[in-house]
Amino acid sequence: MNNYKDIEEIREFIEGMTHSAKVSTEEMLETNDSVPNVKMYLLKKVNEEGETQYGMGGGAIPTDEIGKMIYNKIVPKIIEEGGHEILCTCETTYDNGVMKVEFHNFVTNEKHQEVINFNKPYQVSDLLSNVCLN
């Protein structure tokens, strides 16, 4: 059953994860850290008293093929076996200065993507300096 609280939690998750991806990537780029690909889950669980609890889980996706497969196929099964329902996922991929943030809302079955460009545009002064040096 779709309820308003689930939709509201998903909206907040999307807003928060978009902001978090941008801020944490900026921080990693400033310190020359590598930017990992990440998958996060918005979870819902109804406890024995009938109270609905929301939470998040997930983390960096392994870079090797077996690790990716395990993370993408087995982790959701473990989450569901624990009695949690996955309401939404957020997957970030970073490549060549561009971050793609993809969301899958399982309540409405909608997908949404944000693209954040971290490449700095060239300033006219930078271009003139490069021309003068060449």
For 85-100, the pLDDT digits (tens) are: 999 999 999 998 899 9
Angle (CA) 120-13-106 rounded to 5° is 115
Q: CA-CA distance, 28 to 95, in Å (whole number)? A: 14
User: Mean pLDDT throughout 104-132?
Assistant: 76
Average pLDDT, the chain: 88
Q: CA-CA distance, 97 to 95, in Å (whole number)? A: 6
For residue 119, the model assigns a pLDDT of 84
- Any idea which of 26-35, 50-59, 121-130 has the lowest mean pLDDT? 121-130
For residue 120, the model assigns a pLDDT of 75
For residue 123, the model assigns a pLDDT of 54
Do residues 116 and 26 touch, judged by C-beta distance below 8 A?
Answer: no
Nearest residue to 84 via CA among 106, 69, 61: 106
pTM above 0.85, yes or no: no
Q: CA-CA distance, 31 to 106, in Å (whole number)? A: 36
Do residues 99 and 35 touch, judged by C-beta distance below 8 A?
Answer: yes
For residue 56, the model assigns a pLDDT of 94
Split at pLDDT 50, 70, 90, the class of 37 is very high
What lies within 8 Å, CB to CB, of 9 at 6+ separation is 42, 44, 54, 87
Token output for 58 = 């997930």
**Main-chain dihedrals φ then ψ at residue 10, nearest 5 degrees:** -65, -45
Split at pLDDT 50, 70, 90, the class of 133 is low
For 46-81, the pLDDT digits (tens) are: 989 989 999 999 999 999 999 998 888 999 999 999
